[in-house]
Structure 1
């Protein structure tokens, strides 16, 4: 069996099974859960990582065998194929019966029940999701999402962070590895869908063209989410927030999204709404995680040298200095790496002799967008921060700026929820502005 699976994996990936993959396959064959595989050894990996690795194997096997392989049918499907007359495995001279711990399914059984037919129907609409060509290591974050989505069945999850930090790629990568976990997976972008009603109409009529739309559409959507296990992804969620005001406040015409986020945590259903945003939603903060089934994954820049190697900077002390200056942001690092190669003959030390932090045209455009979205109080605070490289305390800001305590505190909180301000705790709490954002503000003040 291991030989057979190894041949399939090697044909698809060019690599043989590693020790962890072999342990996982043997554990599944013995009817073990991911937790039991983890506890029995598995090189110290936790059950979430083992689940992710398993799903990668299932995807490879599904493509090679042209069958939908998953944890529940892995053993008997491999056994059936090995025993088939067309099998070229050649490892035994008689049929194998190595999978005794559960009933075998018959693949040509006809589904006669309408309810079963409905539950067996899969629908995936990922036309607006990106194609992942190169993925930086986010093993921890993938495991967190697996735990929330597969183990805890969280109805509302947000993935938030700076533009270009890798939020959309992370979610798409998780979906690519776990597509079989949901009956329906739908990816929508707020940028291309003007209203929530437009999104709901498209979902309901595309999944089932015979659907008769009834109002309110939100109620019909909740019935849909209750009837099947669905993952609904809403990307570019920050586009429904008001620019020029504090972070995470809905535009007047987008108040129905507020209702969606509240109700999806209160009603009984089996689905998940996952939102991707550059700003932390004020409503997600108001919904106390102690009382509501919600989770928020804040995606930060990379801190390890692996990202430096991926963008061609190496792992020297000079490269580490660039990693810190550009906050481990994968796109910033890639652009700076390209500049160093083409204009500095790949000499990182020479690049670091520049007096100011170098911003590419793309960085300047992105920072301009950030600055224009700030409220007047936030802009005033950000400009003051840009005048110093050192962290500044709230008390010092209060003394330096002509802002009320309310405006100052709300402004600091909003800048943190936009991920351009970081709190530093030592003897007290001080705040530090993003180096890239600081360099941009200095360029025009």
Structure 2
């Protein structure tokens, strides 16, 4: 979603609660914060003093917190508004919010990664033996976020599964705005395709690790 779509949705929520629309200064603050700007630069952009911008922003975050029942502040307003707006759109279109019920064999509780290697060592069969093919895959989601909700992405999931299971695509990039649901769809994809793999490993690229670092991380599982 772009800023104008989110602003329109936010303005509608504010009007329902207060019977007033967002004023030009509130909209200016939201637009600049959306772009990651800080209060000093926002003050120049909106032609107001920094103190006045901070005061209006505090009142705006408080108002939005009450309306959306979230602890909204400058650092998280973009993520929360975008997520709430998307949720509202999907619900209005008849989509359902479903719980992402990850299989109990998946590690989401921070268990040590050494467990994967230990499980391999305990196995009496070589990796390619018929007995191993029927065993549960080794899945490690230690670095994965805990996301309790999944907004229906049936068509996207079908496309991803077709690429992976039928076209045997080796590399797929899922990209989009922050909070739009990239991690959620990846977790749902794991849930629905896990039996097709021997290993599923979630590694965070937040700190931009080098290729050698990634290789070292992955070697722990084999």
Taking structure 1 as the reference length, what is the TM-score of the superposition? 0.21
- The answer to which structure has the higher strand fraction is 1
Taking structure 2 as the reference length, what is the TM-score of the superposition? 0.40
Larger radius of gyration: 1
Using CA pairs under 8 Å that are at least 6 residues apart, name the structure with larger relative contact order, 1 or 2. 2
